[in-house]
Structure 1
Amino acid sequence: MTVTAKDIGKGKAEPGQFEAGQAVPRLEVKGLSRSFAGRAVVQDVALSVAPGQVTCLLGPSGCGKSTTLRMIAGVETTDAGEIWIDGQRMAGPGLHLPPERRGIGMMFQDFALFPHLTVAQNVSFGLSGPSAAKAARVRDLLERVGLASFASKHPHQLSGGEQQRIALARALAPRPQVMLMDEPFSGLDNRLRDGIRDATLEILKEERTAVVLVTHEPDEAMRMADEIALMRGGRIVQSGAPYNIYNAPVDKAAAAFFSDINVIRGTSKGALTQTPFGEFLTPGHADGAPVEIIIRPQHLKIDFDRGGRGPLPTPQDGTAARGRVVRARYLGRESLVEFEMEADGSRLTASVPGVFMPQLGRALWLMIRRDRCFVFPGQR
């Protein structure tokens, strides 16, 4: 169901929440805040999730993402802010609808299947209406999760991946408008996880369910989300599509959350910073201000030493700097090579595809892709 401004006055929405003709988000969260014992756990969180969209709350443990999920579900009260589902206010000043009145499905790490019920009975647990209609819905969902032949089995007879799919079917059975998922794949074997996540995502998209997924794993967020909301200290510090949030991090901590990083420190002067790798443009930083130039290991280029000489400078890669290998590790798809730089003794790590295991102490030249660097204020 899509609610528009035409629905105002019909009991589906309150006036003044959106512009005329504009579709209302399936889920909208405004200024959500929560404190415990005087400590702010969630601060001014805002989200907007459309039908069929997956938004991921990503961040380290204790950043407030699970508390945000519980407030949306209605199992935790809010100190401030509003929660709207399909144009109807579920929580706000003077209002707190219970979970069963919010049209929300929930999936958690432990799946919470009823051990004494069969698979079919578990899936139909939250359904109401004629028995034939309930049975048809159960059959349809079990077919879509590939477990139609498991209807008469009990949860203890299923693998972890099969239990996860049954939990998904049960959560989707009442056709919830919003699905909340709190690290539902964390208990699965790594080899199963990718396939289960892909199958889950496909079904959620087909159902046009708005999904909020909580995870602390950047790879999972990148794989599943249409939009990522990166949380830190109870706040959303950056949100956007996975490509944008990865390639345009708001600060050093955001860049480091998604991958290992190298940090090159310097001082800005005349919008330029001198480094062993040549000059970097650092506009917007005052003269004498410390800056940190961030580059990921996969964007360092390695070249061979030619009698103490390296490759010539280029506009794209700048000036090469020499370092000596202090560690090399083979990880299967790639190798990590750590260098101690001759210019200042700093340590930098490069990742290269395939097998590249240079001897310890070997001199090699490193170059930095200028278009893959991020420049942030440094610390004095």
Structure 2
Amino acid sequence: MNLIVFVGNAVPPKPVLNPQPVMSTPDTHPRLEIRNLRRAFAGREVVSDVSLKVTRGQVTCLLGPSGCGKSTTLRIIAGVEMQNSGEIYVDGNLVCDTVHRVPPEGRSIGLMFQDFALFPHLSVADNIAFGLKGSKSNKRARVLDLLEKIDLTRAIDQFPHELSGGEQQRVALARALAPRPSIMLMDEPFSGLDERLKDEIRDSTLDVLKAEGTAVLLVTHEPDEAMRMADEIALMRDGRIVQQGAPYNIYNAPVDKAAAAFFSDINVIRGKVKNAMVDTAFGAFLCPGRPDGTEVEIVIRPQHLRIDFDRGGRGPAPTPQDGTPARGIVERARFMGRESIVEFRMDFDGSVLHATVPSVFLPKAGTPLWLMLRRERCFVFPA
């Protein structure tokens, strides 16, 4: 069952180990901090030693494949699932460990799932006001403020079935934000939207969240969505966070081959170390510190391969930037709208490599061409 938690402002209990804690403020502590969360079901650990921090106005994406523990982590933070160990802090104050637990409605946390779960019998205004307390005039003012931010003032008296999917998503966002939660948890909130609308809705959602100063933890399995929305990405695999950082750093300095492959297609060139070098079709690669005989994988993305023409069996001259060229035979080429993908069978070892070219480039199968790769764009990992 999908839930939306509407948030109050209850003061959490004091930590048992600190009977007189110093009261914290959002300016001196992360809005959300989780420490060493662990959760197991039937002896199988689905969340393992997960720790992260989210500050005011920051969007952190918990990114990973289905079944890696993302949603379970979110449910633990929201309070609808209980961890086996670990601690959760909101604005520096402990809200949950294995002894004390603040209920979901007392955590100042908003929660949005894939299912917007709007009340069909209530108007847009009444849906947004559902979790609010206070006078009727104050509720109305808050509703109008949020409707203006999501550009849906015209729909104030409409019902959910009269709105498009994108409009329903924005109303669900406004309803979750109405009680002014410190933290917003979002579990694949855009997955049900039409692909054409996703970018527009994501951008408008991000604008509203930033304007509210809310700390956001967004769960997604889509790398493009994480790259578009996140200030920081926490890449999750098999219940663990394997890498965390700004999108640029995660993309350009992956921790391993699987991390690189999660964000885009990759080419893998395999070899063995000899005298701290690996011999490949593109010349030798330095592999210092690895003993002879070690198998390694050199990873490069298709967009970082450069194609040049064959000149009677000869290719371009080697350069310090592009290294030694290697010849391949075109097996197939496909136009994908924004780019073309060309598949090569390499002369050196019969391996297959893919290169992408902006716009239209469709050489015929059997055409010999030369490839060069940008050395600074390569990653070398143990096999």
Normalising by structure 2, report the TM-score.
0.93
Displacement after TM superposition at 1:271 (Å):
2.0
- Structure 1's 17 and 240: CA in aligned 2 closer, same or farther, altered over 3 A? farther
The percent identity for this pair of structures is 68
Asked if 1:76 is matched to 2:81, the reply is: yes
Partners of 2:291 and 2:63 lie apart in 1 by 33
SS in 2 for 1:199: helix
Asked if 1:310 is matched to 2:315, the reply is: yes
Partners of 2:300 and 2:232 lie apart in 1 by 24
Which residue does 2:373 correspond to in 1?
A: 368
Q: Deviations over 1:289-342 (max 9, x none)?
A: 011000000000000000000000111111101000111110011000000001
Unmatched segments (≥5 aa) in structure 1: 1-7
Displacement after TM superposition at 1:95 (Å):
1.1
Which residue does 1:241 correspond to in 2?
A: 246
Q: Structure 1: which amino acid aligns with 2:95?
A: M
Which residue does 1:4 correspond to in 2?
A: none
Displacement after TM superposition at 1:87 (Å):
1.4
Partners of 1:191 and 1:72 lie apart in 2 by 32
Match of 1:23 among 28, 32, 39: 28
Which residue does 2:149 correspond to in 1?
A: 144
Alignment check: 8 A CA contact 1:13 1:88 kept: no
Asked if 1:358 is matched to 2:363, the reply is: yes
Displacement after TM superposition at 1:113 (Å):
0.2
Match of 2:126 among 117, 121, 125: 121
Alignment check: 8 A CA contact 1:13 1:87 kept: no
Q: Structure 2: which amino acid aligns with 1:148?
A: T
Alignment check: 8 A CA contact 2:26 2:91 kept: no
Match of 2:264 among 256, 259, 264: 259
Q: Deviations over 1:71-93 (max 9, x none)?
A: 00000001000000011111113
SS in 2 for 1:96: coil
- Structure 1's 165 and 13: CA in aligned 2 closer, same or farther, altered over 3 A? farther
Q: Deviations over 1:13-52 (max 9, x none)?
A: 965999x998110000000000000000000000100000
Which residue does 2:3 correspond to in 1?
A: none
Q: Structure 1: which amino acid aligns with 2:63?
A: L
Q: Structure 2: which amino acid aligns with 1:88?
A: N
Asked if 1:194 is matched to 2:205, the reply is: no
Alignment check: 8 A CA contact 1:327 1:337 kept: yes
Q: Structure 2: which amino acid aligns with 1:209?
A: T
Q: Structure 2: which amino acid aligns with 1:213?
A: L
Which residue does 2:300 correspond to in 1?
A: 295
Asked if 1:108 is matched to 2:119, the reply is: no
Partners of 2:220 and 2:367 lie apart in 1 by 41
Which residue does 1:284 correspond to in 2?
A: 289
Runs of 4 or more above 2 Å deviation: 12-18
- Structure 1's 194 and 96: CA in aligned 2 closer, same or farther, altered over 3 A? same
Q: Structure 1: which amino acid aligns with 2:37?
A: L
Alignment check: 8 A CA contact 2:331 2:345 kept: yes
Partners of 1:81 and 1:226 lie apart in 2 by 25
Greater Cα offset, 118-127 or 283-292 = 283-292
Match of 2:211 among 194, 206, 217: 206
Q: Structure 1: which amino acid aligns with 2:207?
A: E
Unmatched segments (≥5 aa) in structure 2: 1-13
- Structure 1's 22 and 188: CA in aligned 2 closer, same or farther, altered over 3 A? closer
Partners of 2:26 and 2:211 lie apart in 1 by 25
- Structure 1's 253 and 14: CA in aligned 2 closer, same or farther, altered over 3 A? farther
Partners of 2:100 and 2:316 lie apart in 1 by 67
Aligned positions, number: 368
Match of 2:181 among 172, 176, 179: 176
Alignment check: 8 A CA contact 1:56 1:221 kept: yes
Which residue does 1:231 correspond to in 2?
A: 236
Which residue does 2:4 correspond to in 1?
A: none
Match of 1:340 among 321, 325, 345: 345
Alignment check: 8 A CA contact 2:26 2:56 kept: no
Partners of 1:109 and 1:180 lie apart in 2 by 12
SS in 2 for 1:60: coil
